[in-house]
Amino acid sequence: MTQDLPPPPPADGASPAPKWFDRPATALARQLLGCVLVRQHAEGEVRARIVECEAYRGPEDRAAHSRGGLRTPRNEAMWGEGGRAYVYFVYGMHWCLNVVARGPGHPEAVLLRGAEILSGQDLVRARRRGRGWPHAMLRGPACLTQGLAVDGSLDGHPLARTPLRLLGGAPGPEERIACSPRIGVAYAGEHAARPWRYYLAGSPGVSGPARLRR
DNA sequence: GCGTAGATCGTCT
DNA sequence: GACGATCTACGCT
């Protein structure tokens, strides 16, 4: 992939415009590494830096909820405007947070799998009931949503607006972007092997077995 | 460190 | 009625 990518927005700037999200989920996933999530709720504000995510492409991706062009009430947000949240419920107990990629009619999304807490650690600890190491409390997609208090009420929410915002950012100079096959999609046949999971190697916020964190 | 099993329910077939 | 973009605890190496 040598195509030119739009530059990430400034780390201290406002949220990216919808246009910034209008590109393949694989390209967007890499640029989301280092970006910052800002979650505001009654108890205060939490800021966390994205260190792991997975791209889910459109109808041709057998691991995606939009495989085969499937369009249901659950995945409706995937079909809408880029830069919104797609939040869904799995395994009868967990929520997962995605960033919608591309524009209306192209159901692609990026699953956020891991983050590092920048501020509001006490609020996250309270939500996670003390589970996890201080810098690993948002490790794993379900841990991330639990720690940031994200659930179905935020499905379709524009990430440029409070109470859940996305701010621009980028990996640090010493950080290495790595990729691997996606986790938990073994059922997807040949698509399961696509290296569409991106992460910052060595970050404590990266999930999965040790060999997939290096 | 690694592998396995159980929890638990919305969604789709 | 089957299964899932997961997590945790537990036992074994």
- Structure confidence by residue, pLDDT tens digits, A11-48: 566 789 999 999 999 999 999 999 999 999 888 999 99
Residues 65-84 of A with CB under 7 A from strand C: 65-66, 75, 78
CA dihedral (A92, A97, A101, A104) positive or negative: positive
Nucleotides of B under 7 A from a protein CB: 1-3, 7-13
Residues A85-114 have pLDDT tens digits of 999 999 999 999 999 999 899 999 999 999
The residue whose CA lies nearest the C1' of nucleotide B2 is: A209
Instruction: Report residue A214 as tokens.
Output: 């290096």
Q: How far is the CA of A57 from the C1' of C10 (A)?
A: 37
Provide the whole-model pTM. Answer: 0.94
- Residue A178 pairs in a beta bridge with A199
**Bases of chain C with protein Cβ within 7 A:** 3-9
